[in-house]
């Protein structure tokens, strides 16, 4: 197989018959139960933008999401009216959270996940009309269950996740997506930030690198190759390199700048809040990331970037922005969707070189 350079593309949006809820069906608005992963949350945003245009005047868009990911929605005040922060997104809401949800008086609930449990508690929250994908034997709880093809290993799968979310929104009367992205208003108080965060946010010519991937080791491009890209940026572009990751991947991510010294290297692996992470990615001139939440977040914030794909599916989970490039060398076993490479070779990623990524960075910067 040979290396492919793919532009992000949602492909065709599945089409379902449109059934617009009546004004009174909405009550005071719609409650959206988001996915639990940052990248998946970002992929729901085009659908939420279109829902905003379909929801009647004076009705709100409310979201229930994991507490740790709530800052994404707090930075979208024009899109989301209320955020219910779930302390433990893998359990039923607490009594206080259920009271908060019921007080919203939402007439419609949309599940942008496949959870049976979430469909059950939304029903218990007295939301009359529930919509979502047909999954995990929950269809009997839903007013309307949408059927999508089952994922297959070793082939590229359509539709894209964002296309699935859009199709459900459009079935409720939302207009087609025009490709625009939401406007983020990210709070930033320099006096409250660390020196390193201020430097990352306020410097020019920043390369953000995100060597981690919460899903598993199989998705991680070699750290040594991240390091080669960082060294090239420092030497050729004379810019700054900022390393970003979750706390539990900080040691691995920091290895991307091991041996690279100087005040142009800013190691923030595991040291930022989500709000700070968004601000840094918004400022970055370029980003290199695995298929991860950081990749999706950078893209929706309007950044440019390059992502090596291997065991996951660029047809289903590529970024939602055309400012990114996907590098993919299809192997017979890929995409396998495994957290750890079954044979240990990771050949789907090792065949992508640092020079491949550097070449794409140069093209994006010149384009």
Domain ranges of the chain: 12-171, 195-366
Q: Under 8 Å CB-to-CB from 41, ≥6 apart: which residues?
A: 34, 35, 65, 69, 72
CA distance 327 to 306: 7
pLDDT digits (tens, 9 = 90+) for 184-213: 999 999 999 999 999 999 999 999 999 998
Mean pLDDT over 4-10 rounds to 88
Say if strands 240-243 and 206-210 run parallel, antiparallel, or are unpaired: parallel
Q: Is the pLDDT of residue 157 over 70?
A: yes
For the segment(s) 12-171, the CATH number from 3.50.50.60, 3.40.50.2000, 3.40.50.1820, 3.30.300.340 is 3.40.50.2000
- Please count the other Cβ atoms lying within 10 Å of the Cβ belonging to residue 107: 20
Per-residue tokens: 80: 């989301």
* Span of 130-139, 209-218, 287-296 with lowest mean pLDDT: 209-218
The distance in angstroms from the start CA to the end CA of the chain is 27
Is-above-0.95 flag for pTM?
Answer: yes
**Residue 215: per-residue pLDDT:** 84
Q: Is the pLDDT of residue 7 over 90?
A: no
Mean pLDDT over 139-161 rounds to 96
Architecture, CATH, for domain 195-366: 3-Layer(aba) Sandwich (3.40)
Residue showing tokens 């199709």: 167
Q: Is the pLDDT of residue 2 over 90?
A: no
Domains 12-171 and 195-366 share a fold: yes
Q: Is the pLDDT of residue 1 over 70?
A: no
pLDDT digits (tens, 9 = 90+) for 8-62: 899 999 999 999 999 999 999 999 999 999 999 999 999 999 999 999 999 999 9
- Residue 310 binned pLDDT confidence (cut-offs 50, 70, 90): very high
Q: What share of the chain is helix, strand, coil (3-state, %, to 5)?
A: 40, 15, 45
CA distance 346 to 341: 6
- Residue 355 binned pLDDT confidence (cut-offs 50, 70, 90): very high
Question: Cα 337–340–344 angle (5° rounding)?
Answer: 115
Say if strands 29-33 and 60-66 run parallel, antiparallel, or are unpaired: parallel
């Amino acid at each position: 197989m040979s290396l492919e350079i793919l532009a992000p593309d949602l492909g065709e949006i599945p089409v379902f018959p449109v059934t617009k809820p009546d004004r009174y069906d909405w009550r005071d608005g719609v409650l959206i139960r988001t996915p639990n992963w940052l990248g998946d949350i970002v992929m729901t945003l085009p659908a939420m933008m279109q829902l905003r245009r379909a929801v009647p005047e004076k009705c709100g868009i409310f979201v229930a999401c994991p507490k740790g990911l709530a800052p994404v929605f707090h930075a979208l005040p024009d899109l989301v009216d209320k955020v219910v922060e779930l302390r433990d997104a893998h359990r039923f809401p607490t009594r206080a959270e259920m009271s908060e949800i019921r007080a919203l008086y939402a007439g419609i609930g949309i599940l942008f996940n496949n959870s049976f449990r979430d469909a059950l508690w939304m029903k218990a929250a007295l939301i009359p009309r529930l919509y979502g994908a047909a999954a995990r034997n929950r269809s009997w709880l839903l007013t309307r269950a949408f059927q999508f093809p089952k994922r297959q290993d070793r082939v590229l799968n359509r539709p894209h996740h964002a296309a699935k979310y859009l199709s459900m929104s459009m079935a409720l009367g939302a207009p087609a997506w025009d490709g625009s992205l939401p406007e983020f208003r990210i709070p930033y108080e320099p006096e409250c930030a660390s020196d390193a965060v201020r430097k990352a946010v306020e410097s020019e010519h920043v390369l953000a690198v995100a060597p981690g991937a919460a899903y598993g080791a199989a998705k991680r491009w070699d750290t040594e190759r991240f390091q080669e890209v960082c060294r090239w940026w420092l030497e050729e572009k004379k810019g700054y390199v900022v390393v970003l990751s979750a706390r539990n991947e900080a040691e691995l991510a920091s290895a991307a700048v091991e041996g690279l010294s100087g005040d142009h290297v800013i190691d923030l692996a595991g040291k930022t809040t989500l709000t700070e992470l968004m601000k840094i990615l918004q400022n970055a001139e370029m980003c290199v990331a695995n298929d991860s939440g950081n990749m999706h977040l950078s893209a929706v914030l309007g950044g440019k970037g390059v992502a090596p794909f291997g065991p996951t599916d660029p047809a289903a989970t590529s970024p939602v922005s055309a400012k990114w490039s996907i590098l993919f060398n299809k192997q017979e076993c890929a995409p396998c969707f495994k957290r750890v490479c079954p044979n240990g070779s990771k050949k789907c990623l090792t065949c992508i070189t640092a020079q491949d990524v550097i070449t794409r960075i140069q093209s994006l910067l010149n384009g």
